Amino acid sequence: MIREHFEYKTTIATIIAEEPGQIIAAKDGMIAARQEIEAVIAADPFFGATLEPYDIASESLTVRRMVAAGMKAGTGPMAAVAGSIAWAGIEAMQESGASFGIIDNGGDIALIGDREVRVGLYAGDAPISGTMAFAVPPRKGVTGICTSSATVGPSISFGVADAVTVFAADVALADAWATSLCNRTAGPEDELFSPLEGAEIDGAFVVIGTGTYSWGRVPPLVPARVHETAISAGYGGEIMARILRNTIPPDRTPPCP
């Protein structure tokens, strides 16, 4: 298993793969996606600045995914940027022949897994932070695991949550909904998940101080020790509010993405 730190401009990611060629493919996929986004922003700066849904025609699949995710979750397209770049990277890994791979782009994860993957929960100063991990089961296709936070990292948030993690096959949508839900955490708790019916996501897990809230199908939480040094801390449309690692025995400390 190969684990490599990757930086390209403001993209800071961790890539886990089985072969060197898959690492190269992931990097190429992320760089290409980012360049497509940069080209759109250069032509239309509002795309990169708006916090509201914004419809724009584009030949770029990554840009179209960001636009669609923002429209569905009620956010600007850049709320889905980190997840979308990670998604492009993991698809490039698939095209290179990978059946297992993980990209953690500043806390927004895209993975393909033919085995269980443990994703550590990091939620700043919340008591649960660093003590638990999601045991994500094997799944055909891509899994998106994206986190937003109002207390960790540099991203804009209008909520109060220490971590909002969303699970979905559509990585861009998971990223956008993590932002949207985190923004809603300043409102009534009984209305937090009300927009999610029919939202095309698997589940969501929210940490606010000592409280935790769950919706939909969330992977089981298991005890773990999560180290802050394992966080892929980068700037993306969202935050670095969590970590991950490939399969580990249950009696061992998860080092990680």
Number of domains in the chain: 1
As a whole number, the mean pLDDT across the chain is: 88
Q: Tens digit of pLDDT for each residue in 184-212? A: 999 988 899 999 999 999 999 999 999 99
Q: Let me know if residue 236 belongs to a domain.
A: no
pLDDT tops 70 at residue 237: no
Q: Let me know if residue 135 belongs to a domain.
A: yes
pLDDT tops 60 at residue 72: yes
Q: Any idea of the CA torsion for 77, 238, 149, 219, to the nearest 10 degrees?
A: 90
Q: Let me know if residue 240 belongs to a domain.
A: no
Q: Let me know if residue 237 belongs to a domain.
A: no
Q: How far apart are the first and last CA of the chain?
A: 13
Model confidence at 229, in pLDDT bands (50, 70, 90)? low
What's the predicted TM-score (pTM) here?
A: 0.88
Could you tell me the residue range of the domain that residue 49 belongs to?
2-230
Q: Sheet harboring 117-120: ordered strands across? A: 117-120, 132-136, 221-223
Q: Let me know if residue 235 belongs to a domain.
A: no
Helices (H), the chain: 20-43, 45-49, 61-73, 81-95, 171-184
Q: What is the CATH number of the domain that holds 177?
A: 3.10.520.10
Q: Let me know if residue 52 belongs to a domain.
A: yes
The string of DSSP codes covering 229-256 is GG-----SSS---B--BS---TTS----
Q: Let me know if residue 256 belongs to a domain.
A: no
CA atoms of 257 and 255, how far apart (whole Å): 8
Q: Let me know if residue 88 belongs to a domain.
A: yes
Q: Tens digit of pLDDT for each residue in 114-140? A: 899 999 999 999 999 999 999 999 988
